[in-house]
Structure 1
Amino acid sequence: MIIRILGEGQYDVPESALDELNELDGVVDSAVRAGNEDAFADALRALLDGVRRVGTPHEVESLDSSDLILPMADASLAEVQDLLADDGLIPG
């Protein structure tokens, strides 16, 4: 799976890591729905760090499309609210 972090690039993430990323995504989702700006910033940072940790940078010159797009690290709670689907940023 290819996950893009806006403003940063794409990462190849193994399917086996999706459960871990979904847990981190659930914390982001909860913070957004609660309107808790501090918890949101920490949770988003943890999710993006998780993608970087379990993924490998995707070839920069590749024109492959991303399977998922995550907000940049400095995204605001309001910006992420607009991106959230019913099951968070990472479906599943």
Structure 2
Amino acid sequence: MIVRIMGEGQIEVAAADIGVLNDLDGELEAAIQTGDESVFRVRLHALLDKVREVGKSLPDNSLEPSELILPPSDASMEEVREMLGDEGLIPG
């Protein structure tokens, strides 16, 4: 799966790693629902850090279609809320 982190580029993530990313996505959603800015910030960074950790960065000149688009690390809670779909940022 190709994931784009806005402002950073694309990362290829193996299907086997999607479960852990979904767990982190759920924690991020919970922080947004409670409106806790400090927990939101920690959860957003944890999700993005895990994507970077388990994924493989694609070259900057690669133009693969992104299956998921994640917000940048400095996104506001409202910006992330607007990006959430019915299944969070990471469906599944």
In the superposition, the TM-score normalised over structure 1's length comes to: 0.97
The answer for the alignment partner of 1:75 in structure 2 is: 75
Higher mean displacement: 58-67 or 16-25: 58-67
Q: Which amino acid aligns with 1:13?
A: V
How many residues in Structure 1 have an aligned counterpart in Structure 2? 92
- 1:1-92 equivalences under 5 Å are 1-92=1-92
Residue 81 of structure 1: SS of its match in structure 2? helix
What is the Cα deviation at residue 56 of structure 1?
A: 0.6
Gaps of 5+ in 1: none
Cα distance in structure 2, aligned partners of 1:86 and 1:63? 27
Tell me which stretches of 4 or more aligned residues in structure 1 moved more than 4 Å.
none
Residue 79 of structure 1: SS of its match in structure 2? helix
Aligned-pair Cα RMSD in Å: 0.7
Gaps of 5+ in 2: none
In the superposition, the TM-score normalised over structure 2's length comes to: 0.97
Residue 88 of structure 2: SS of its match in structure 1? coil
Cα distance in structure 1, aligned partners of 2:86 and 2:67? 17
Q: Percent identity?
A: 50
